[in-house]
Amino acid sequence: PEGGWGWLVCLAGFIAQFTILGIQNNTGILYTTLLTEFKGNKGDTVNPISRFLHAAWVLSIGLGMMFLFCPITSALCERVGCRVVAVVGGLLGVLGFLLSSFVKDLYILYVTFGVLWGIGSSMCYLPTLRALPYWFRRRISLTNGIVTAGSGFGTIAMGPLMQLTVTYLGWAHTTRILAGVLLLCAISALLYRVPPKSPIEMKMAEEKRHEKRPFFDFAVLKNKAFLVWSVSLGIFMMGYFVPFVHLPAYALECGIPISKSSTLVGMMSIGSTFGRLFFGKVCDHPKVNRLYIFQMAFLIIGIAHTLSTLTTSYVGFVLYMIVFGIFDGCFVVLLGVLCADIVGLDKVAEGMGVQFFFMAITCTAGPPLAGVIYDLSSSYQIAFYAAGACATLSCCLLFLVP
């Protein structure tokens, strides 16, 4: 089918990305609150890795688990379906936020906010990409663009909401409100379903169900092009979340008031929303080489990270985040599509799980390492140079993908 109920599946994916990535992309706002309410120290010169072990780790574990758990999420989707996985994931996230609202120790937040919320977000996020190929072929890039635009709109909407709640209500009430928002994600996941199968497809599915398959299938790594692809993504993700977590604090140090610095991630989302819709449409054209477009996005993101260190003005940071956002939109739209192009539709489930596993390892470490760099140098610029270098190196590695 090319649509039908698939448009409701598309809506469910949009809502999930709106809530999940709307929260994840605004973790920089929560970071400053963690430092204040849990007595963290951003730049302790006596113990320079204190930030690495505390507030930044809480948020990075949540980000990393969203990707690290993807191989398991993919296997669960294969066995019990996207609907069950997404509903359970939404409820796990709600539980994680509610428990976090009562916690008084950062170390416990590693489990309640980091692990529970991270696993729940993974179980909600991956079905948004896995469910679409069942319903769309010709419009797959466009529908991916529509679904992933949800994270752009979500980041724009959730940023001011989270800033208002942490400013006037504090950490505990903010996490309870986020739990209520996330409940909408669990409810909308009930819209997931697969199209009815023909008798031949039902017979093939039954035979496949009785095959003994490993729960984790890393056989796709025998595909050398996919191995290069996964390593490239892992390097890129080392610097990907650095602006999300650290740019608000960096802007504050440059003299930009918090009322403006907290809007910067939202500006990125405006550009990202445009990029997802634009590149989603463009990359469906048969004459467009998706991999070249993807490489171009990595290169421009790397340049943007590097040049961001030359400005200290609000306008300069806005321009940086809009450019970053436009080509981040390209990255997000083509992430699942290119995975399918490289490994084939029959292996896309295993491929997406493995690629997210590679991405998880480095994206978890990236923001805390940037924090360590700050504590040692008292400067965010080196961290943004490193983020730019990671994106540029990833672009170059992709030339090895045929």
Q: Domains of the chain (ranges plus CATH)?
A: 5-38+47-194 (1.20.1250.20), 219-399 (1.20.1250.20)
| Six token digits for residue 376 | 């040692």
Q: Rounded distance, CA 256 to CA 258, Å?
A: 7
Question: Under a CB-based contact definition with an 8 Å cutoff, are residues 373 and 90 in contact?
Answer: no
Q: Rounded distance, CA 14 to CA 154, Å?
A: 9
Question: Under a CB-based contact definition with an 8 Å cutoff, are residues 351 and 342 in contact?
Answer: yes
| pLDDT at 116 (0 to 100) | 94
- Could you tell me how many residues make up the chain? 402
Reported as half-sphere exposure (CB side, CA atoms, 13 A), residue 282 has a value of 17
In order of 266, 316, 325, the CA distances from 313 in angstroms are 17, 5, 18
Return left, alpha or beta for 256; rule: phi > 0 is left, psi -120 to 50 is alpha, else beta: beta
pLDDT in tens, the chain (402 residues): 677 888 999 999 999 999 999 998 887 778 777 777 766 444 443 343 454 456 777 877 888 888 888 888 888 888 888 999 999 999 999 999 999 999 887 788 889 988 999 999 999 998 988 888 788 877 877 888 888 888 888 888 888 888 889 888 888 899 999 999 999 999 999 999 888 766 665 666 566 555 656 666 677 888 899 999 999 999 999 998 888 878 878 888 888 887 788 788 788 888 988 988 888 888 888 888 999 999 999 999 999 999 999 988 999 999 999 999 999 989 988 888 898 888 887 787 778 888 888 888 888 788 778 877 877 887 888 989 999 999 999 999 999 987
| pLDDT at 394 (0 to 100) | 95
Question: Under a CB-based contact definition with an 8 Å cutoff, are residues 360 and 305 in contact?
Answer: no
Q: Tens of pLDDT along 100-146?
A: 999 887 788 889 988 999 999 999 998 988 888 788 877 877 888 88
| pLDDT at 366 (0 to 100) | 83
| pLDDT at 233 (0 to 100) | 93
| pLDDT at 121 (0 to 100) | 94
| Six token digits for residue 313 | 């003005």
| pLDDT at 26 (0 to 100) | 82
| pLDDT at 40 (0 to 100) | 45
Q: Tens of pLDDT along 3-23?
A: 788 899 999 999 999 999 999
| pLDDT at 48 (0 to 100) | 38
Can you list the alpha helix ranges (DSSP code H) found in 69-139? 70-80, 82-100, 106-109, 117-130
Which residue has 């590097």 as its token pair?
Answer: 306
